Amino acid sequence: METFIQSVVSGVLTGSLYAMIGVGLTVVFGVMRIINLAHGDLVMLGMYGAFWGLTLWRLDPFVSILLWVPLLFLGGMLIYRFLLKAIIPGGELNTLLYTAGLSLLIANLALFVWSGDYRTIKLPYALSPMRPFGIAVPVPLALAFGLAILITAGLSLFLARTDLGRAIRATSQNPEAAALMGVNVDRISMVTFGLGSALAGAAGVLLAPSLYLYPTVGEILIVKCFVIVVLGGLGSVVGAISGGVLLGVVESLGAVYVSVAYKDTIGFALFMLVLLFRPSGLFGVGKS
Amino acid sequence: MRRAVPLAAVVLVLVLPWLTASQFTLHLAITVLLWTVLGVAWNLLGGYGGQVSFGHATFFGVGAYTTLILYLKLGLAPWYGMAVGGAVGALVSLPIGLVCFRLRGPYFSLATLAVAEILRLVALNWEGLTNGPVGLLITALPPVRIASRPIDWESKTPFYYMVAGLALAAMLAAYGLARSRLGAYLLAVREDEDTAEAVGIDTVRAKVVTLALSAFLAAVAGGFYGLYFRYVDPDAVFPIALSVEMVFIAVVGGLATVAGPAVGAVFLVTISELFRERFLVGHLIFYGLFMMLAIRYLPEGIWGGVRRLVSGHAPS
């Protein structure tokens, strides 16, 4: 029983970070119908941001996140404005191929500049985990979990309550109608892409103390990310959060009760089943 | 002109080993031709049929493993193994096709990506069959005599002619497909799947058959890879990057053209291998860069662009 609770807890903790990555992807998809294959590479950039912040300037990742998130927000807006905007009219497959190119470009530039070495972030307070109720919880992961909840809740509030958030949701539901109501769809798309990139970057910074860093890590993250958003329904924020936590728990339980080696396979198998039988997502909230 | 270009290309490919003594050049040529086969294979489904697979490493890996396992465990000579590997690849593609083709557009792409990752994980963990992460190694190839002269497996020349033959065969297959009834069905599916179905085309069948053909070619190429490098491991033959590179070669070279993937392979592989010689890592920078440039400025690919310039109208 204790093993079960332990693995559910660590699954939920990791899952919250997956959820953040998934939310970024799904918001962008909702507004622009772009499946951004470079999303995982933006997470990678966030991870390296955390690493270099700590290595060069002794900045704790939970501090340097304040620097990287706005930078990635800006970077995302520039990517939209100067790269993606011209491609979007070409259709979904063109943008898919284009972002695949962007992904390979970012990952390989990182490989070229930072080399393929595996790196880790060592934080002094990561050495001994907290033990509430006898369950081991690594401190950086717990911190990341708290921040992930704060950020995701903040985003939900932003989408629900502010004018800009309403405009984003309106564009997501129907771009033409939103444009007729006076929403500047182009500007909304740019902001949304920035937002998605910022979320990816934030998740990267938060994940960095718990994962190995290497330039092509985005490849694995993006695949997980697809699993998450397809589980929850592409385009749905609530779906992405549930999907992320679900994947975290499934992986963690799978690693304990099935096999460590096949834990990723369980996620993929789930992914295929959902794609086939419930393409609008497990929770039926997304659009297929 | 229409005959001269392909003929000149074939002659050049045949005489190349006499033109150079450099092992690096020959290795580069082998790599280019291997990627040509893969680009052509992917193009059958992705270019003519518009079904963008991000998981063709599946078939490459299955072919490579089949060839090496048959040789190491049963002693079947690898050149027969390559053919069996192709057949196994085609066989494996059938259930994958029947499942994934229920999805359309980007969803199909994501599903194929997941399939390739599942296969990679299986290869990584089914140690009894695949030797897991350690991989499989061929120490010596069986002796062969052609016209009573033994073939020197330490030289690259026999491998060169083998892969050149494969590339030629793959391109002939693409040429044949493009002019067949199936080719016409595929174009109809690509342009508008619902309409294709409405006029009575069995679209699932057309896609599954094409995938099998495409998988066969990719798997044979995988077998050749195993034979040439004498080593396979899950990360060498099932990585996402491999699936993606096939797509890029076909798109940058020219979708739905016979020569496009060859042009794409010559262009991208040469640039990236020269870069790799010098800098060791990051050679896929150019794949990403040229993919983005091609989608933005030259969606018909290099070969499509050349043909448009030469003939003055859009390529057919």
The pLDDT of residue A286 is 43
Q: What is the DSSP letter of B145?
A: E
The predicted pLDDT at position B316 comes to: 47
The number of folded domains in chain A is 1
Nearest-CB residue to A268 (from B102, B114, B284):
B114
- Count interface pairs A-B at CB distance under 8 A: 120
Report which of residues A116 and B270 the model is more confident about.
B270
Written as one letter, the residue type at B144 is V
Domain assignment of residue B144, yes or no: no
Q: Which residues of B touch A (CB under 8 A)?
A: 50, 52, 54, 99, 102-103, 105-107, 109-111, 113-115, 117-118, 121-122, 124-125, 240-241, 244, 247-248, 251, 279, 281-285, 287-292, 295-296, 299
Q: Is the pLDDT of residue A285 over 80?
A: no
Q: Is B180 contained in some domain?
A: yes
**Is residue B283 within a helix (H) or strand (E), and if so which, with residue range?**
none
Domain membership flag for residue B145: no
3-state secondary structure of A75: helix
Residue B147 placed within a domain: no
Chain B CB within 8 Å of residue A93 CB: yes
**Mean pLDDT computed over A120-139:** 77
Residue range(s) defining the domain that contains residue B238: 4-138+154-311
Q: Is residue A125 part of a domain?
A: yes
CATH number at residue B200: 1.10.3470
Nearest-CA distance A71 → chain B (Å): 23
Give the least confident one: A131-145, A214-228, B97-111. Answer: A131-145
Residue A89 included in any domain? yes
Contacts of A276 in chain B (CB under 8 A): 99, 102-103
A177 within domain boundaries: yes
Residue A285 lies inside a defined structural domain of this protein: no
CB A235 within 8 Å of CB A29? yes
B159 occurs within a structural domain = yes
> Would you say residue B99 lies in a domain?
yes
Q: Is the pLDDT of residue B76 over 60?
A: yes
What integer best gives the mean pLDDT of chain A? 86
Question: What is the per-residue pLDDT for A284?
Answer: 55
* Residue B316 lies inside a defined structural domain of this protein: no
- The per-residue DSSP string of B60-97 comes to HHHHHHHHHHHHHHH---HHHHHHHHHHHHHHHHHHHH
How far is B128 from B151, CA to CA, in rounded Å? 33
Is the residue at A239 inside a domain? Answer: no
Selection from A94-108, A206-220, B145-159 with the highest mean pLDDT? A94-108
Residue B1, pLDDT score:
59
> What is the domain extent for residue A124?
17-216
- Contact criterion met (CB < 8 Å) for B121 and A262: yes
Q: Mark yes or no for CB contact A86/B50 under 8 Å.
A: no
Averaged pLDDT for residues A196-217? 90
**CB proximity A120 to B under 8 Å:** no
Whether residue B111 lies inside any domain: the answer is yes
Whether residue A91 is contained in a domain is answered as yes
Q: With 50 as the cut, is the pLDDT of residue A287 above it? A: no
Residue B315 confidence (pLDDT) above 60: no
Residue B11's pLDDT band, with cuts at 50, 70 and 90, is confident
Q: Please, are residues A74 and A194 in contact by the beta-carbon 8 Å criterion?
A: yes
Task: Give yes or no for A97 touching B (CB within 8 A).
Answer: yes
Domain count, chain B: 1
Structure tokens at A234: 């592409």
